């Protein structure tokens, strides 16, 4: 089989139909399979799949096991030569799937390729980035300094915002919202690190792929829309805590340092988490 698709679902029936509709159009004529991994949503997913997408298979977890583990479950349950891993709030543009497949076929050392992600309003999401450093939390996509001073050199370097996006290029890492990986690369580098519940597992995976000798590529000729509307309102506090726990795990794993410096960095990260939790509590509830 050429292609497997793994979609990780958690209470996203509002966006999943459009995601699978776009996939159906893109996979027409391809030897492919679709597996939806559900993290204990209890939202009627099985009934909906039986009615609307009977060819898709489902893995139903009795608890929310996190994104990384759900992806690994999907990888283990499929057999395609290449695997498209995606969120249910991502919609492939026409031709994107074949462009990604062709990119892997044409470049033997590309282990993972991702489309250019766009926001619903057409703006670039900056989903392909440089590896994070100690001060990335000050200059990331959503940080105050990036919003106030978008042309500062640290944000531009991290977000690759100076790249003209006319041709594919090797990058440090790409968002796990939508990525296509060669199964042989998974076999050599391993699956996602399940120590990450959500967030930063994509950065870690891309780094380990490169350590195993594979390239990570962003292909701007393949486009997809990422509708992250749920992040505009209040989110579950666990999401914020796990994001920051993921930061700590990533830096301990890939940037080991003196225990005192590590403890100081961990403390700063958790202070940031506390500030975000306080801000989150003041936002309107998620729709």
In this predicted model, what pLDDT tens digit does every residue of 194-222 receive, in sequence order? 999 989 999 999 999 999 999 999 999 99
pLDDT of residue 41: 93
Residue 142: inside a domain, yes or no?
no
pLDDT of residue 136: 75
Q: Are residues 170 and 268 in the same domain?
A: no
Comparing CA positions, the residue from 93, 107, 226, 254 lying closest to residue 169 is 107
Q: Are residues 191 and 209 in the same domain?
A: yes
pLDDT of residue 243: 85
Rounded Cα–Cα distance for residues 226 and 235 (Å): 18
Q: Which domain holds residue 174?
A: 3-124+165-232
Rounded Cα–Cα distance for residues 25 and 15 (Å): 16
pLDDT of residue 102: 98
pLDDT of 95 > 90? The answer is yes
Q: Are residues 21 and 107 in the same domain?
A: yes
pLDDT of 231 > 50? The answer is no
Number of domain units in the chain: 2
The contacts of residue 134 (CB under 8 Å, 6+ apart) are: 251, 255, 265
Residue 149: inside a domain, yes or no?
no
For the entire predicted model, the pTM comes to 0.91
Q: Are residues 110 and 203 in the same domain?
A: yes
For 5-19, 23-37, 127-141, which range has the lowest pLDDT when averaged over its residues? 127-141
Residue 83: inside a domain, yes or no?
yes
pLDDT of residue 236: 80
Give the residue-averaged pLDDT of 60-88: 97
Residue with the larger pLDDT of the pair 136 and 75: 75
Give the residue-averaged pLDDT of 11-35: 96
Rounded Cα–Cα distance for residues 3 and 29 (Å): 11
pLDDT of residue 149: 77
Q: Are residues 262 and 197 in the same domain?
A: no
Residue with the larger pLDDT of the pair 286 and 170: 170
SS3 258: coil
Comparing CA positions, the residue from 53, 67, 54, 108 lying closest to residue 203 is 67
């Amino acid at each position: 089989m050429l292609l497997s698709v793994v979609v990780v679902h958690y209470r996203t029936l509002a966006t999943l139909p459009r995601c699978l509709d776009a996939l159906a159009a893109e996979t027409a004529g391809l030897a492919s399979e679709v597996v939806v991994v559900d993290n204990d949503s209890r939202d009627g997913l099985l009934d909906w799949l039986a009615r609307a997408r009977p060819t898709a298979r489902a893995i139903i977890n009795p608890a929310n096991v996190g994104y990384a583990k759900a992806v690994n479950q999907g990888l283990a349950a499929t057999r395609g030569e290449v695997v498209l891993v995606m969120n249910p709030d991502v919609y492939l543009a026409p031709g994107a799937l074949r462009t990604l497949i062709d990119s892997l076929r044409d470049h033997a050392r590309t282990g993972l390729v991702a489309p250019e992600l766009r926001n619903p309003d057409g703006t670039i999401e900056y989903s392909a980035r440089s590896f994070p450093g100690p001060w990335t939390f000050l200059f990331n996509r959503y940080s105050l300094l990036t919003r106030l001073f978008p042309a500062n050199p640290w944000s531009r370097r991290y977000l690759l915002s100076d790249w003209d996006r006319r041709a594919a290029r090797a990058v440090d890492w790409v968002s796990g919202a939508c990525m296509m990986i060669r199964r042989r690369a998974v076999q050599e580098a391993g699956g996602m690190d399940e120590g990450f519940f959500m967030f930063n597992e994509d950065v870690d995976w891309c780094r380990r792929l490169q350590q195993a000798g594979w390239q990570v590529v962003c292909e701007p000729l393949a486009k997809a829309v990422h509708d992250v509307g749920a992040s505009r309102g209040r989110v579950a506090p666990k999401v914020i805590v796990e994001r920051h726990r993921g930061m700590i795990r990533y830096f301990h794993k890939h940037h080991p340092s003196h225990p005192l410096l590590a403890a100081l960095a961990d403390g700063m990260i958790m202070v940031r988490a506390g500030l975000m939790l306080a801000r989150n509590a003041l936002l309107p509830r998620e729709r």
